[in-house]
Amino acid sequence: MTKKRTRRAREPVFPRELDLFHDDWLALTPKERLARAWALRARLRDPQAVHDAKLFPKP
């Protein structure tokens, strides 16, 4: 006979502890965040396509 598993009453439903990457991101300085985000942008194959798709969406 298997015992039915129940969640403990105090266990969070949506644990923010799973949001590890976000906490690391917040630990950076704004200057570091901007530099990393811009480095990520440099890896886009077609920045114009990304920009235009967001700004001028097809109806």
Partner 1 sequence: MRSFFRNLERDAVRYLLISGQASILYGAATFSEDVDLWIEPTADNIGRFTAALHRSKAVVHKLTPPLTVRHFRRGHGFHFRVPASASEWYLDVMGKPPRVGGFSAAARRAARFDTAWGAVPVVAIQDLVELKKTRRLGDYEVISRLACIRLKTVPKASRPLLTWALHNVFRAEDAQWVFDTWPAARALPVVRERSWLRTLSVEPLVREIAMLQKQDIRYWSPIIDELRAMRRNERLIPEGTRL
Contacting positions for partner 1 (CB under 8 A): 12-16, 18-19, 22, 25-26, 28, 30-31, 33-38, 40-42, 44, 47-48, 50-52, 54-56
Shortest distance, CB of residue 30 to partner 1, whole angstroms?
Answer: 4
Measured from the CB atom, is 6 or 15 closer to partner 1? Answer: 15
**Those residues with Cβ within 8 angstroms of residue 22's Cβ, 6 or more apart along the chain or in another chain:** none
Rounded least distance, CB 7 to partner 1, Å? 14
User: What does the block give as tokens for 38?
Assistant: 């811009």
Nearest residue to 51 via CA among 36, 39, 41? 41
How big is the chain by its Cα radius of gyration, in Å? 21
